[in-house]
Amino acid sequence: MKAVIPAAGLGTRFLPATKSTPKEMLPVVDKPAIQYVVEEAVRAGIDDILIITGRGKQSIEDYFDISYELESVLKERNDFEKLEEMREISDMADIHYIRQKKPLGLGHAILCAKKHVDGDNFAVLLGDDIIFSEKPCIGQLIEKFDELNSSVIGVGEVPAEWVEKYGIVDCRAVDTRLCEIEGIVEKPSMDEAPSNLAVMGRYVFTPDIFECIDETGIGKGGEIQLTDAIKILTERQKVYAYRFEGRRFDLGDKTDWLKTNVEAALNREEFRDEMIKFMKEKISRE
Ligand code: G1P
């Protein structure tokens, strides 16, 4: 299965850092955010990834490319460990790029992948959602997709006051984790929200979604919304929502980005003890 990673957004929520750096390239500990997303896809067995970029996103392409200058310096220094690490990044997967020429929204960004996806089922991982889990989140959704032979969307509960930041589903429970989507709305107000089950930036689609995007008009925020296309899809075939296992962070949000760094650092043996010590000391001083 191919994966599509939309990474064309302007990142205005993270200014000034994103003035000249794509938000997907902001570091989480020592890796750019988008690497965590690519790694999640690779861990799920995906080896063909299409990144939808836009203006000012050149550094994403450079990052996943071979850097001959850097490699020759590392070779000269006999730093084979670093060299190996750099090669792993460029060898991780077969990564393709396409530019979304106009910022017309997430739905439109996905539509840019139509030719590359070429009539197959495909996965979508949003570039600003990072999910830490034992089993890669997109792998959990692919498993469900294979079982149900229908599109599956990763969801999670959010506090009522956050519903207006997400796509929110209206669902009929199948089991404790799975439900069939009966309605979906992009960024509803608290009063309009059908539930507090939010779309968390991971999707596995049948290629029929493209036709639905084609038919989707301008939605919330004057953009072509993927959520509106999913609504059309639910009127034609079953679409499921799955409460995946894992902790999800929104990199577009500054507080969440700080938390992502803490979580990622605590997941790493080399930083863990020092970080806990630092945080304990800091809290006791506050
Ligand atoms: C997008 C989607 C939204 C989803 C969210 C998850 O919104 O449109 O449905 O819940 O990602 O992160 P954005 O965060 O790009 O505004």
What is the tens place of the pLDDT at every residue in 53-63? 998 899 999 99
Range of the domain at 65: 2-285
- Whether the per-residue pLDDT at 11 is higher than 90: the answer is no
CA 193 to each of CA 53, 158, 174, 183, 197: distance values in angstroms, whole numbers, following the listed order: 31, 12, 21, 10, 9
Dist. CA 272 → ligand 1 center (Å):
31
Query: Which residue's alpha carbon is at the smallest distance from atom 7 of ligand 1?
Result: 166
pLDDT of residue 9: 81
Amino acid at 42: V
Choose the residue to mutate in 5, 23, 106 for probing ligand 1, maximizing ligand atoms within 8 Å of C-beta: 106
Q: Per-residue pLDDT for 65 more than 90?
A: no
Residue 270 predicted with pLDDT over 90: yes
pLDDT for 8 beyond 90: no
Token pair in block for residue 198: 């939010």
Query: Three-state SS for 144?
Result: helix
Which region among 188-202, 217-231, 250-264 has the lowest average model confidence (pLDDT)?
250-264
User: Number of structural domains, the chain?
Assistant: 1
Kindly report, residue by residue over 162-205, the tens digit of the pLDDT.
999 999 999 999 999 999 999 999 999 999 999 999 999 999 99
**Exposure pattern of 199-213 as b/e (b: 16+ CB <10 Å)?**
bbbbbbbbeebbebb
pLDDT of residue 279: 94
Q: What is the pLDDT of residues 76-119, one digit of tens each?
A: 999 999 899 888 888 889 999 999 988 899 999 999 999 999 99
Rounded mean pLDDT of 204-218? 97
User: Which residue's CA is the nearest one to ligand 1's atom 10?
Assistant: 166
pLDDT above 90 for 271: yes
Q: Which CATH number fits the domain that encloses residue 125?
A: 3.90.550.10
C-alpha of residue 253 to centroid of ligand 1, in Å:
12
Measured from the CA of 129, which atom of ligand 1 is nearest?
A: 12
Q: How far apart are CA 253 and CA 17, in angstroms?
A: 12
Quote the percentage of the chain above a pLDDT of 70.
100
64, 57, 49: which is closest to 1 by C-alpha?
49
Site residues for ligand 1, CB cut-off 6 Å: 106, 126, 129, 166-167, 186, 198-201, 225-227, 250, 252
78-92: buried (b, 16+ CB within 10 Å) or exposed (e) per residue?
eeeeebeebeebeeb
Tell which one of 10, 130, 196, 199 to mutate to probe ligand 1, the residue whose CB is within 8 A of the most ligand atoms: 199
Q: Report pLDDT for 67.
A: 85
In angstroms, the CA 127 to CA 81 distance is 28
pLDDT attached to residue 91: 86
